[in-house]
Amino acid sequence: MNENKKIVVYVDLDDTLVNFMSGVKKCPKETVARFERDENGKNQLDNIPGVFALMEPMTGAVEAFQWLAEHFDTYILSTAPWNNPSAWCDKLEWVKTHLGKAAYKRLILSHRKDLLRGDYLIDDSDRADILRFQGKHIQIGKEPFKDWTAVLDYFKSIVEH
Ligand SMILES: [Mg+2]
């Protein structure tokens, strides 16, 4: 067996594989206005019913995921909003539509990414549970991993060694 296939890589959805705002932009303006700030001034855009189904992939994300899935033991690790049940379904549908066979039964939804065992977590966020992840956190969107090209270069260097 290919030794790299023992390396577990988790990949986040929102703003890692999925362009979150591309979905928000397709929602009616009145809906966006209602969810942009709740009564406490908190951004609730991820609670718009059906919003996740409308989202487009990030640039290069689909090809990057396919490549990672070919070389490593790769899973999707995302958090779905507690108060938006349609998001849980929409995320599954998004993964089936855009990632297909490479992601078959490889979707994990959790509010505690630190509890998952693995080597790498590719995630744009630095939320507390992500920082506690025991493998290496690859923070996409931040130097030196500013985009998918940079992330793939890093993983290609692992395969070559
Ligand atoms: Mg994210």
What is the domain partition of the chain in residue ranges? 3-19+57-160
Q: Which residues of the chain have pLDDT under 70?
A: 1
Confidence (pTM): 0.93
How far, in Å, from the CA of 15 to the mean position of ligand 1? Answer: 5
pLDDT at 141: 97
Backbone angles phi, psi at 77, to 5 degrees: -130, 110
How far, in Å, from the CA of 12 to the mean position of ligand 1? Answer: 6
Q: 152: which residues sit within 8 A by CB, 6+ positions away?
A: 60, 64, 67, 68
Known catalytic residue: 12?
yes
Integer Cα distance of 120 and 7 in angstroms? 8
How far, in Å, from the CA of 1 to the mean position of ligand 1? Answer: 32
How far, in Å, from the CA of 124 to the mean position of ligand 1? Answer: 5
Identify the CATH number of the domain defined by range 3-19+57-160. 3.40.50.1000
At 31 the three-state DSSP class reads helix
pLDDT at 143: 97
pLDDT at 38: 80
Known catalytic residue: 14?
yes
User: What residues flank ion ligand 1 with Cβ within 5 A?
Assistant: 12, 14-15, 124-125
